[in-house]
Amino acid sequence: MNGFVDEVTIEVVSGDGGDGIVSFRREKYVPRGGPNGGDGGKGGNVLFQVKDNVKTLSHLRRKPFFKAENGRPGQGNRMTGRDGADVVIPLPPGTVIRDAETGETIKDFSRSSLWVYLEGGRGGKGNWHFRSSTRQAPRIAQPGRPGIRRRIVCELKLIADIGLVGLPNAGKSTLLSVLTKARPKIADYPFTTLIPNLGVLNHKGSQVIIADIPGIIEDASQGAGLGVSFLKHIARTRLLVFLVEAGGDRALSDYGVLAKEIMAFSANLAKRKRVVVVSKADQGGAAESLAAFARRYQEIPAASISSTTGEGIEELKDLFIRLAGSDE
């Protein structure tokens, strides 16, 4: 998948607390010094940090185990042991972490943040704490508390306002390159796009993020072609754009395939606002496709464009900004 990793299972462990120690004062002319054993240090925490410059989860696949440092034991003279160092795991925005055993969602990271997931173990108390009027030379100390171990799944769902979906070679990557500064791979053969691509549309003072999702084919929900492995990346979008090719009833047919596969993937995703864009209008048949679509789906906005000639592109930008930036 060209290095694009969007789901990884990892194991994380917080640090053990350091042990408290048994110690007594040893000074000249003080034959029976009192207890002075120090406390153990706290174990390190496990934290997740969301960073905008991290784009995939490939670094977690290379290193699927993370452990924070253990706290150090206490020392004499009531000196506390050093706390263990935290371990900080970087994640891209849009990552969801789930329990690997139950599947329960633990945290959904939608923006940059630093979050403590597992606390390190508490350090044990030294024998100084256990002195009393009846026990002046305690020879007991607390062990440190153990850290916490968890096995979790990290899943990336890209954050975009608009998701472009279409059959292979419908022109999604070309349209993304025309609307934004993104430079996805473009070629005249199926499945050119093997990873999701993001681009930012800046238009008339507004900004929306657009995701180009690898081509869907009929029975993708059953695993055909690339399957629906990348549809998770448009789960957060406000607007779905169905890109279909011009050519009479072909637009209706293509739209039917795409709508069916998205419904099979997620009924919730299928409820999002949608627009149909008839591409490759410069090759003819766009007017007939729009007319056929309008007769069947009057409630869904539709437009025709040519990424080659620029026909309809400015109007499409206006439509995207209006629909992706509102709740209408």
pLDDT of residue 134: 84
pLDDT of residue 242: 94
Place of tokens 């709740």: 327
User: What fold characterizes domain 162-324?
Assistant: Rossmann fold (3.40.50)
Chain centroid to Cα 110, Å, comes to 7
pLDDT of residue 240: 93
Spatial strand order of the sheet with 114-118 comes to 87-91, 46-50, 114-118
Mean pLDDT over each residue of the chain, to the nearest integer: 85
What number of residues does the chain have? 328
pTM over 0.95: no
Residues of the chain with pLDDT below 70 are: 1-4, 29-32, 182-195, 215-230, 248, 325-328
Please give the structure tokens belonging to residue 35: 């207890």
Q: What is the pLDDT of residues 221-246, one digit of tens each?
A: 444 444 456 677 777 788 999 999 88
Q: Where are the domains of the chain?
A: 1-156, 162-324
| Residues whose CB is less than 8 angstroms from the CB of residue 19 and which lie 6 or more positions away in sequence, other chains included | 40, 73, 74, 123, 124, 141, 142, 143, 144
**Cα dihedral sign, 280-281-285-291:** positive
Place of tokens 């499409």: 316
> In this structure, are residues 47 and 88 in contact, taking their beta carbons and an 8 Å threshold?
yes
pLDDT of residue 30: 61
pLDDT of residue 220: 43
pLDDT of residue 326: 52
Q: Do domains 1-156 and 162-324 have the same CATH topology?
A: no
pLDDT of residue 50: 94
> In this structure, are residues 17 and 123 in contact, taking their beta carbons and an 8 Å threshold?
yes
User: What fold characterizes domain 1-156?
Assistant: Spo0b-associated Gtp-binding Protein; Chain: A, (2.70.210)
Chain centroid to Cα 239, Å, comes to 19
pLDDT of residue 10: 98
Q: What is the pLDDT of residues 18-35, one digit of tens each?
A: 999 999 987 776 656 789
